[in-house]
Amino acid sequence: MDDAAFYESVREQVERDLVQDYEEIANGHLRVYASDVPRLSVMLVRTLINTQAQPQRILAADLTTDPSLLTRRREYLAANRQMIDSGGQINRLFIVRRDDLAREDYARDLLALINQHRQIGVTAGLAVRDRLRPEEAVDYIVFAGAAVLVEEEQGDSDYNHGRSSVHFQGIDRWTERFDSVWGTGAHAAPVTLQAYEALTRPMLDGGTWDSDRVRQALDAA
């Protein structure tokens, strides 16, 4: 395992607490289903804090098809706040389709979600999904150098559906994948988000939404 102490702590909690269908932790891999997925997400954040696995950092890539879903996952957001309050760092990359970014209703929900994350100290970035390779447009969370949670089937609002896997080995390649999409300099994901906000927030506030203008700006970036 890439981090034996972290792995052992998660293994003990899974065997004790998870009650729905899941495959036993074996060979550094765990699969969970439905409502156990958000519970496991919270468990992984808290285990990262408690074991002090290094670096105390979470890298999250989110295929943001419905921003309002994330605003309702209060226990997970509370765990994120606890992580940051304890001195940790969270970078969250919102991966969004170009046409969704050009929709007024979507933009309003997305920027509200980003505000919510910033209020707890998350560093947010934006990537246009249409520009990414298939292997880059994946929903996953990297917990230090200890584990990665990969969402294989996205959950609905109540998480009656959904399937995820946790891997405790080969974490470096996921970190490298995240860093590659996050980028640096003028093309870094936080810069892309800042440019999108600078264009769209005045439109939303002033009731002057222009989808064509938003698409043109995204294409020119």
Contact 105, 73 (CB under 8 A): no
Give CA–CA dist 191/197, Å, rounded: 10
Please, which residues have CB within 8 angstroms of residue 65's CB and are 6 or more apart in sequence?
A: 97, 100, 154
Specify the amino acid at residue 214: V
16 has a pLDDT exceeding 80: no
187 has a pLDDT exceeding 50: yes
φ, ψ of residue 158 to 5 degrees: the values are -100, 0
- Count CA within 13 A, CB hemisphere, residue 72: 10
Contact 97, 129 (CB under 8 A): yes
Q: For position 14, what pLDDT does the model report?
A: 78
Q: For position 21, what pLDDT does the model report?
A: 41
54 or 37, greater pLDDT:
54
Please give the structure tokens belonging to residue 16. Answer: 């004790």
Mean of per-residue pLDDT scores for the chain:
89
Distances (CA, A) of 209 to 64, 129, 199: 21, 22, 10
- Count CA within 13 A, CB hemisphere, residue 100: 18
φ, ψ of residue 146 to 5 degrees: the values are -105, -35
197 has a pLDDT exceeding 70: yes
Contact 30, 166 (CB under 8 A): yes
* Residue 164 confidence class, pLDDT cut points 50, 70, 90: confident
Q: For position 30, what pLDDT does the model report?
A: 79
- Rg of the chain in Å (alpha carbons): 18
Lowest mean pLDDT among 24-28, 35-39, 97-101: 24-28
Whether cis (ω within 30° of 0) applies to the bond prior to 55 is yes
Instruction: Give 75-121 pLDDT, tens digit per residue.
Output: 999 999 999 999 999 999 999 999 999 999 999 999 999 999 999 99
Average pLDDT over residues 38-55: 92
Give CA–CA dist 136/131, Å, rounded: 10
199 has a pLDDT exceeding 90: yes
Q: Which of these, 184, 191, 193, lies nearest to 101 by C-alpha position?
A: 193
Q: Please give the share of the chain, as a percent, with pLDDT higher than 70.
A: 90
